[in-house]
Amino acid sequence: MNQQCKYMVVSGPIRYPQLESSYHHPFSHLIETLKTEKHPGRKYFSLQKLEDPRYNELPLSIRILLEASIRRCDGFYVQREDVEAILDWRQQQGSAEVPFIPARVLLQDFTGIPAMVDLAAMRDAVASLKGDPSLVNPACPTDLIVDQALQIDFSKCAIQNAPNPGGGEGQAAPIKSSPAKAQPHGGSGCRDQRTCSKGSCSDAPTTSGRVPSVQIENTPLLCPFHLQPVSEPETALRNQEKELSRNKERFQFFKWCSKAFKNVKVVPPDIGAIHQVNVEYLCQAVQAQEEYVYPDSVVGTDSHTTMVNGLGVLGWGVGGIESEAVMLGQPITLTLPKVVGCKLVGSINNLATSIDVVLGITKHLRQAGIGGKFVEFFGPGVSQLSVPDRTTIANMCPEYNATVSFFPIDDVTLKHFRQTNFSEEKLELVEAYLKAVKLFRNYQDPSEDPVYSEVIEVNLSTIVPHVSGPKRPQDRVEVSTMKKDFASCLNEKVGFKGFHIPVEKQSALVPLLHEGQEFSLAHGSVVIAAIISCTNNCNPSVMLTAGLLAKKAVAAGLRVRPYIQTSLAPGSGMVTHYLNTSGVLPYLSQLGFEVVGYGCATCLGNTAPLPSAVVDAIRKGDLIACGVLSGNRHFEGRLCDCVRANYLASPPLVVAYAIAGTVSIDFETEPLGVTVEGKEVFLRDVWPSREEVQHTEENMVISSMFRDLGEKMEKENKMWKNLDAPESTLFPWDVKSTYIRCPPFFHKLTNKPCPPQPIESAHALLFLGDMVTTDHISPAGSISRTSAAAKYLTSKRLTPREFNSYGARRGNDAVMTRGTFASIKLQNRFIGKAAPKTLHIPSGQMMDVFEAAERYQRDSIPLIILAGKKYGSGNSRDWAAKGPYLLGVRAVIAESFEKLHKNHLVAMGIAPLQFLPGQSADSLGLNGKETFSFSIPADPSPGQELTVHTSTGKSFQVMTLLESKVDVIFYQHGGILKLVSRSMIPSQP
């Protein structure tokens, strides 16, 4: 292992081997000086000098992999054979294992905090074995964005609680109102912002339902009652204060990280969501470090890191475990991917938003079965897509299971960079370098098209508006058939689409008394409508469409019912900037979509409880209430336990369904609502034209929004600046902390690994079915009051109000281990119903999963998990592997695995074992109550078959999914964390 220290342990930026006098780079003859006026002396590896015709046929995403391998070829991590394998991509795709060292690592706080906690704990472990803890630093530049701590504790200005003229089937009767006169201008500002935000202002709407009729100006943001400037939205400010109070320990740890670790930059809370900060501020297109120029690339601890692919930056999501390895100088090892060329032709329908394009492409690509492949876009249709359109499409990449969705840089991208935060000098460097290595595209020139593994053609003109739901993002529903589709969902048996509501109960109306007003709820009633950070807010045209729709709706006299929980959590302050500058933000606020803060919120499960009257009505009628959100995650029960149907929709459709108050509406034949004069208002009456949206975008979304973000980044949040943080090489762990604990991954760490021991008489902790997601394995939402994690927090004298969320407590292994398999939607065949419970087989008792695992560990009984197809689906989540490891799980036997999660299991030393093709627990006659015994060889070969013996006398074969030499090494060491730690320990005499 000492040989690894030469390159792995680096205190500061990655050093290139070719710069070391003792090392002769095998490709040094490719180094040339870039010919630019403003950047003289910059060197680069000229791939053209390879003089190999295969290079010009490579997809551009593969060219980036090739460049990184050539530049980082050190004869140890990256060898000449790896370079040749990539160059021979047409023959080696899908088989050769190749390394990739990205230019940077991106961490968000929920998955970033365990990575940083692990590094802090690793410093302790290295110090305990006489190593130098200060050497434990990211070798690869690392940015950590604090963006997922926000919870919506405060929402809705009083003006949002005005009676709603409404519309839609099965909803409350329209309540007519007439506009009142606006208060005159005067004074030096809103006299009582807090009073306004709480709804007790004397100028607030009256009980008669009258709403002040106001003339909205473009800027600045105005108090909707007094029309006076408001320096900062009160709701957002109060949520920020609550966020800091709730997460103080975590934030202090993050601030310590920014001081203690070299090569780490922490972006404070309230700057923006990770995806937005990545594309608006961190994206470089081309890196210029020391004297070398090379393509920007990134791996991030978020499945939607792929958003940056829309800017021509190669990047994808990995788990916290892999990110830690990259941070410490190790490459990502991947099977040389097949690259699907997605050819875009035709013109976009005027009524289709970029989200419709995203979902249309998602359908085509998902049906093509492209899991684990790269997608690269080409064809004349690409030129019609703006950069925001491209980043939106790339952001949804995980939803069609591709590794990346890559848009090579072209003139449209350069124009975007020119309008944002790139100087003319940087643009000259980017264009000159990309053209020198043939990484620049002209989509109108088919002679530049590379060779792809396969080509899928998508005609943009065939794409019509869709939503996705009610339970899965891949279940697309045309808006024109939404009412019919929802009715069929009520009839169908319980499953991915159905709810099986008896016919006689489908027309039920349940009265609702909310704030002194009478309404009624029905199946399909919308109770949550959220415009949130992921997927949509990165696209100004989509957000502006929502704002312009809101403006037209308010002008027509439409409102949103006050019991609907509405929110707007932009992915960036820049969204607020251009919505406000374009004059549409106050209209969104009037409909209830007030800015509540910045960061992931509703689709993460971080949403305030629904009004008790709404919850009671839903439960009384056993109603299928609905949530509509512009996010990318909406599994059943994720938003709220009592909201069973959730739909992903574009922001303007979120506004439209919120106004309608129901998803059971045909927008073509039924009105959104009725004006005070009795006029019916249809969606087509308030939907802005594409020309109107484009005009607003061109004139309002200007380069200043990007400059403002840079200024905000540099100025730093006042609350963050005043936050105290320790200064020391080793983190001073507080044993009383319920947020940050030193994890036990390095307990009894030795200099050398012990050979894997046989697994004898193991019990199955869980017996699971198909499509067990990482949400099921490691929930990120609120902590149930009856859960094992709640019992632990209660023992620490915390009240339920102080529990926070699992995501916020990922730095505490005691909480996260107890939260493993704590999803209320977990279907464990041992107990026959959805619940976070399992059967302790020896005693026959039903108990919390953690309590059962704890009891097994006390009795020294090893554990396995039995599962069906696609175990570990969903977004990357390292605690979905770390949690089972700490529960004592030694292996998972499943019919198939999600590749990313399988990699996480291996990285934690858990063996992923797959039933042979055509076999399953059922076909083998397993009931899960047997004991299981098997041995994995000390030096297993990739894909080796093993025999599993059961206590009933049955035996069956499984295949080890240790698919590479790296997988084998990780497993032998008991996981990557132990492997990396051992590499930093001095050799023993």
CATH code, domain carrying 867: 3.20.19.10
What would the mean pLDDT of 767-789 be, rounded to a whole number? 90
**Given this model, what pLDDT does residue 330 score?**
80
Lookup: tokens for 331: 């490459």
**Cα separations in angstroms, 23 against 15, 289, 695, 984:** 12, 20, 57, 22
Residue 617 pLDDT exceeds 50? yes
* Residue 240, pLDDT score: 62
**Most confidently modeled range among 60-69, 189-198, 238-247, 329-338:** 60-69
DSSP letters spanning 585-616: HHHHHHTT--B--SS--GGGT--PPPPHHHHH
Paired tokens of 40 = 């003289």
The pLDDT, as a whole number, for residue 210 is: 29
Check whether 186 has a pLDDT greater than 50.
Answer: no
In the DSSP assignment, the letter for residue 808 is T
Q: Is residue 483 part of a domain?
A: yes
Find the CATH number of the domain harbouring 301. Answer: 3.30.499.10
* pLDDT score, position 257: 93
Domain co-membership, 480 together with 546: yes
**Tens digits of per-residue pLDDT, 703-722?**
656 666 666 666 667 778 88
609 vs 891, residue with greater confidence: 891
Strands of 97-225 (E only): list them: 97-100, 104-108, 142-145
Query: Is residue 160 in some structural domain?
Result: no
User: Which H/E stretch holds residue 795?
Assistant: helix 788-795
Question: DSSP 3-state assignment of 486?
Answer: helix
Token pair belonging to 672: 């959104």
Structure tokens at 152: 């919506």
CA triplet 179, 184, 185: central angle to 5 degrees? 130
Asked, for residue 202, whether it belongs to a domain, the answer is no
pLDDT digits (tens, 9 = 90+) for 133-184: 988 888 899 999 987 555 555 554 333 333 333 333 333 333 333 333 333 3
Residue range 623-634: average pLDDT? 82
Residues 396 and 535 occupy one common structural domain:
no
Is residue 202 very low, low, confident or very high in pLDDT (cuts 50, 70, 90)? very low
Q: Tokens at residue 723, please? A: 């936050």
Lowest mean pLDDT among 265-269, 499-503, 656-660: 265-269
Among 650, 671, 688, residue at a domain's last position: 688
Domain termination residue (choose one: 626, 659, 688): 688
Predicted pLDDT of residue 188: 31
Within this chain, do residues 437 and 580 fall inside the same structural domain, yes or no? no
Residue 458 sits in the same domain as residue 470: no
Would you state the pLDDT for residue 226?
34
Per the prediction, the chain carries an average pLDDT of 82
Question: What pLDDT, on a 0 to 100 scale, did the predictor assign at position 234?
Answer: 62
Domain count, the chain: 3
Residue holding tokens 């102080």?
802
| Helical spans, DSSP H, in 281-353 | 320-327
The 10s digit of each residue's pLDDT in 841-882 is 999 999 999 999 999 999 999 999 999 999 998 776 789 999
Q: Which residues, 6 or more positions from 418, have their beta carbon under 8 angstroms from its beta carbon?
A: 424, 427
72-86, 602-616, 679-693, 765-779: segment of lowest average pLDDT: 602-616
Can you give 202-268 as a three-state secondary structure string? CCCCCCCCCCECCCCCCCCCECCCCCCECCCCHHHHHHHHHHHHHCHHHHHHHHHHHHHCCCEEEEC
Residue 426 has pLDDT above 60, yes or no: yes
Statement to judge: residues 875 and 888 lie in one domain: yes
Predicted pLDDT at 279: 84
For residues 203 and 212, what is the distance between their CA atoms, to the nearest angstrom?
8
How crowded is residue 582: how many other Cβ atoms within 10 Å of its Cβ? 21
**Share in percent of the chain as helix, strand, coil (round to 5):** 35, 15, 45
Does residue 420 surpass a pLDDT of 80?
no
The residue-averaged pLDDT of 416-433 equals 89
In sequence order, the 6+-apart residues with CB closer than 8 A to the CB of 126 are: 132, 133, 135, 136, 981, 984, 985
Residue 292 DSSP symbol: E
The answer to whether 263 touches 140, Cβ cutoff 8 Å, is yes
Helix (H) / strand (E) element for 404: namely: strand 404-406
- 457 and 476 assigned to the same domain: no
Structure confidence at residue 278 (pLDDT): 86
Q: How many CA atoms lie less than 13 Å away from 29 in the CB half-sphere?
A: 4
Half-sphere exposure of 565 toward its Cβ, with a 13 Å CA cutoff? 27
Q: Kindly state the average pLDDT of the residues 672-690.
A: 90
Amino acid at site 116: M
**What per-residue confidence (pLDDT) applies to 703?**
61
Residue 967 lies in a domain: yes
pTM, two decimal places: 0.69
| Mean pLDDT across 112-135 | 90
| pLDDT tens digits, 935-977 | 999 888 888 999 999 999 999 999 999 987 778 888 999 988 8
Higher pLDDT, 228 or 601: 601
Same domain as 547, residue 439: no
Peptide bond into 388 cis (omega under 30): no
- Compute the chain's Rg from CA coordinates: 28
Q: What percent of the chain has pLDDT over 90?
A: 50
Structural domain that includes position 667: 466-688
| Backbone angles phi and psi of 198, in degrees to 5 | -90, -10
Residue 210 covered by a domain: no
- CB neighbour burial string for 828-842, b if at least 16 within 10 angstroms, e if fewer: bbbbeeebbbbbbbe
> Exposed (0-12), middle (13-18) or buried (19+): which is 280, by Cβ within 10 Å?
buried
Write the single-letter amino acid at 830.
F
Last residue of a domain, which of 688, 716, 735? 688
Q: Are 768 and 878 within one domain?
A: yes
pLDDT of residue 239: 64
Backbone dihedral region of 905: left (phi > 0), alpha (psi from -120 to 50 degrees) or beta? alpha
In a domain, 803, yes or no: no
What pairing do the DSSP bridges indicate for beta strands 314-317 and 332-335? unpaired
**Start-to-end Cα distance in the chain:** 14
CA distance to 657, 706, 790, 860, per residue, from 577 (Å): 25, 10, 40, 58
Least confident of 19-28, 129-138, 260-269, 387-396: 19-28
Do 534 and 681 share a domain, yes or no?
A: yes
d(CA 721, CA 328): 28
What's the pLDDT tens digit per position in 204-257? Answer: 333 233 233 333 333 334 333 333 333 345 666 666 666 666 678 888 899 999
Q: Are residues 481 and 581 in the same domain?
A: yes
In a domain, 959, yes or no: yes
CA contacts within 13 A on the Cβ side of 422: 23
Residues 291 and 438 in one domain: yes
Instruction: Tell me the CA distances in angstroms from 634 to 152, 461, 626, one per residue in order.
Output: 17, 28, 11
pLDDT in tens, 8-46: 322 233 333 333 445 578 999 999 999 888 878 899 999
User: Which pLDDT belongs to residue 100?
Assistant: 95
**487 and 625 both lie in a single domain:** yes
**Burial classification of residue 924, based on how many CB atoms lie within 10 Å of its CB (0-12 exposed, 13-18 middle, 19 or more buried):** middle
Q: Is residue 746 part of a domain?
A: no
- H or E element that contains 655: helix 651-660
Spatial strand order of the sheet with 104-108 comes to 264-267, 142-145, 104-108, 297-300, 314-317
pLDDT at 193 over 70: no
Q: What is the pLDDT of residue 103?
A: 95
